[in-house]
């Protein structure tokens, strides 16, 4: 490991800088078996993009054993050139602890905790104790992911006061914002923005959070579908705002506006109807900019020929260099 558990918070201050991407598993075209060569290719592409880290996506119809293979390939191919985070969203606390321990042994840099739909917490203490049990089981740094989608029966879905308690846990180092409510976000920054690294996964709020709160990372999100390795514009946008070069930043921001609106509209309408992310859309768009692309397993949302045409047009209109049809 790159740090001791007691050093995790300090380590995170230098690690969490820039953009954290996602990495989806890839499958063979015939049997939809896990494809090692394609996974390794995608890690190399993410390194070229300049991201500081990528979080594995582990809710795409893969087994725990396949998730282990997937993570091991990512860590091995990354060779320290990009961080690898492991996503924990398994059905039981026992499984999440098991996989957190695996991620540590495999050489992952962080684990990201979210909560499976069958975790029906009735009190804040239940959520805290569940989270604490995972944190205590590993020496890895922990990234929190509070979200509306868990359906917790609390004011604000996931109270900042509860997260403030979690921020005191020794190896909790970061938080991906998943409650899109500006008063809630402001309260998080005020309560514990000095304790852990808070990141917002959408670029529309970067001018606010970078300039006013000193936010130094954003993710995890599929930033790779908004840029290419030879034109890392999302990373450049983030850096321009950090440098206070707002005229240049906003010129680039508006250049991406059509693609941004397409992606967000497509994602939000699908999540609203199904509760699922359309990973097939992500995968197709990744393929257009040089990643492995290909088909995802079921359960998955449909991404039709017409959807593909609209996605490709949005990317081309934003000026991205499409390398694959």
Residue ranges of domains in the chain, CATH in brackets: 5-227 (3.20.20.70)
Tokens (6 digits) for 50: 């300049």
| Average per-residue pLDDT for the chain | 95
Q: Tokens 């908004």 identify what position?
A: 226
Q: How many CB atoms lie within 10 A of CB 27?
A: 23
**Does the pLDDT at position 273 exceed 90?**
no
Token pair listed for 253: 């921001």
Q: Are 211 and 244 in contact (CB under 8 A)?
A: yes
Contact 218, 206 (CB under 8 A): yes
| pLDDT score at 277 | 86
DSSP code per residue over 116-165 = -TT----SHHHHHHHHHHHHHH--SEEEE---GGG--SSTTSS-HHHHHH
For 77-123, the DSSP string reads: HHTTSSEEEEEE--SSHHHHHHHHHHHHHHT-SEEEE---TT----S
Residue 324: per-residue pLDDT: 75
- pTM across the whole model: 0.96
Between the alpha carbon of residue 113 and those of residues 34, 303, 322, the distances in Å are 24, 28, 34
Confidence band, pLDDT 50/70/90 cuts, at residue 69? very high
Choose among 59, 137, 126: nearest CA to 96: 137
pLDDT in tens, 175-229: 999 999 999 999 999 999 999 999 999 999 999 999 999 999 999 999 999 999 9
Q: Are 33 and 65 in contact (CB under 8 A)?
A: no
> Across-strand partners of 88?
113
Write out pLDDT tens, residues 101-138: 999 999 999 999 999 999 999 999 999 999 999 999 99
């Amino acid at each position: 490991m790159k740090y001791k558990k007691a050093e995790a918070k300090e380590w995170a201050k230098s690690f969490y800088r820039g953009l954290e991407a996602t990495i989806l598993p890839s499958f063979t075209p015939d049997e939809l078996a896990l494809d090692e060569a394609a996974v390794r290719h995608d890690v190399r592409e993410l390194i070229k993009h300049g991201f500081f880290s990528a979080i594995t996506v582990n809710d795409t119809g893969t087994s725990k054993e396949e998730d282990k293979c997937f993570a091991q390939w990512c860590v091995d191919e990354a060779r320290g050139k990009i961080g690898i985070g492991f996503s924990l969203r398994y059905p039981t606390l026992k499984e999440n602890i098991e996989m957190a321990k695996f991620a540590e042994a495999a050489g992952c840099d962080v684990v990201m905790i979210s909560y499976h739909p069958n975790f029906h917490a009735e009190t804040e203490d239940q959520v805290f104790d569940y989270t604490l049990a995972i944190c205590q089981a590993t020496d890895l740094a922990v990234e929190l992911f509070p979200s509306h989608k868990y359906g917790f029966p609390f004011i604000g879905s996931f109270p900042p006061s509860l997260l403030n308690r979690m921020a005191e846990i020794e190896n909790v180092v970061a938080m991906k914002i998943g409650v899109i409510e500006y008063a809630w976000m402001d309260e998080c920054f005020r309560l514990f923005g000095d304790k852990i690294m808070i990141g917002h996964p959408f670029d529309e709020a970067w001018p606010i959070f970078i300039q006013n709160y000193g936010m130094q990372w954003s993710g995890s999100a599929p930033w790779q579908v908004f840029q290419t390795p030879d034109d890392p514009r999302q990373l450049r946008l983030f850096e321009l705002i950090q440098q206070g070069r707002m005229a240049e930043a906003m010129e680039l921001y508006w250049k991406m506006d059509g693609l941004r609106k397409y992606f967000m509209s497509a994602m939000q309408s699908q999540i609203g109807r199904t509760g699922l992310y359309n990973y097939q859309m992500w995968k197709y768009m990744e393929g257009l900019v040089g990643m492995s692309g290909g088909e995802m397993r079921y359960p998955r949302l449909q991404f039709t020929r017409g959807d593909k045409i609209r996605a490709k047009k949005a990317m081309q209109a934003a000026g991205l260099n499409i390398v694959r049809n």
